[in-house]
Every structure is written in C-alpha cells, then in structure tokens.
Amino acid sequence: MKCRQGGFSLLELAVVALVVAALAWAMLSFLGRYQGIVERDMVDMNIRNMRTGMRLQVSELLMEGRQRELPNLVGTNPVRWLGGNIAGYLGELDAPPQGVRGCWYFDRPRRMLVYRPQSSGFPGGAYMELRWQVVRSGGQDSGVKLVEMEVGQ
C-alpha cells in the first residue's frame, strides 16, 4: 500500500489561487465603486462651500449698499470665496492641463471652474469633466449663483 504524503497537490494549489484571485478582483471592484462615490461627495462638499462663500460675498455687497457691483461677480472664479485653496487645485489656466486627473482648475477663457475625476468608479466615469460657472440669477440687481454646466469629455 502506498503512503500518501500530506500537503497540497498542484491542482489544489491552482484552485485555491483562482479562488483568492477572484475574491481579490471582486473586492477591488467593490472598493473602486466606493472610491468614486467618496470622490463625488468631496466634490459636492467643495461646491457647497463655494456657494456658501458666494452667498456671504453677495450678502456683504447688499448690506453695504453695493448691489450694483453684483454683475461684476458673474464669471469669476468661485474658489476665491473659500478660505484657502482646495486639494488638487491647479489655479487659473488658459489651457486645460494635459494628462492630469483628480484636479480642479479655473478655465479662464470659458470662465468656468472644472473638476477632472481621478477614480474610474466616479459616477459618469473618470474621463469626463465637471464644470460650474457663476451666472446671474434674476434681474440686474438680483444676484448670482454657481450652476453646474454641461458635462464634457
């Protein structure tokens, strides 16, 4: 009678390796989706902060009786209403940066704030650009608002 040695056969080892690889792939896919959701939440939080800063600026102008200056805010860079820069902010640029993801920049010619997602799990995909612009809201002396513009590729 043959004595069987303990341990794994090559086939058993291959099956275990395949199972571990499949579980790792599933986990990474799951985490990638959540990374995109977290990134979108970060973008939304930054935009809310900019809108709050913009409202404070508008309120200040109104309280000082300088409502005629409100139209001057149209097309301005909303990042200036934050206490400091946001993570990944490249500044005011005349041309889009090449090959950079996960960044913010202000497109001077179009007068728009742009965000390029980093994560492939970002809702809508990583190869898109989100854009916002400060526009007039209402009549001559009404005010301004930060609105999301078309999504670009």
Report pLDDT digits (tens) over 48-91: 999 999 999 999 999 999 988 888 999 999 999 888 889 999 99
Residue 34 has a pLDDT of 79
Report pLDDT digits (tens) over 6-15: 677 888 888 8
**Distances in whole angstroms, Cα of residue 2 to Cα of each of 5, 8, 89, 103:** 9, 17, 70, 66
- Tell me how far the alpha carbon of residue 28 is from its chain's centroid: 21
Count of the separate structural domains present in the chain = 1
In a domain, 59, yes or no: yes
In a domain, 133, yes or no: yes
Residue 110 has a pLDDT of 94
Residue 125 has a pLDDT of 61
In a domain, 153, yes or no: no
Structural domain boundaries enclosing 48: 10-148
Residue 132 has a pLDDT of 92
In a domain, 111, yes or no: yes
Rounded to 5 degrees, φ, ψ at 84 are: -160, -175
In a domain, 61, yes or no: yes
Residue 139 has a pLDDT of 60
Q: How confident is the model at residue 109 (pLDDT cuts 50, 70, 90)?
A: very high
In a domain, 127, yes or no: yes
In a domain, 108, yes or no: yes
In a domain, 138, yes or no: yes
d(CA 72, CA 75): 8
Average pLDDT, the chain: 84
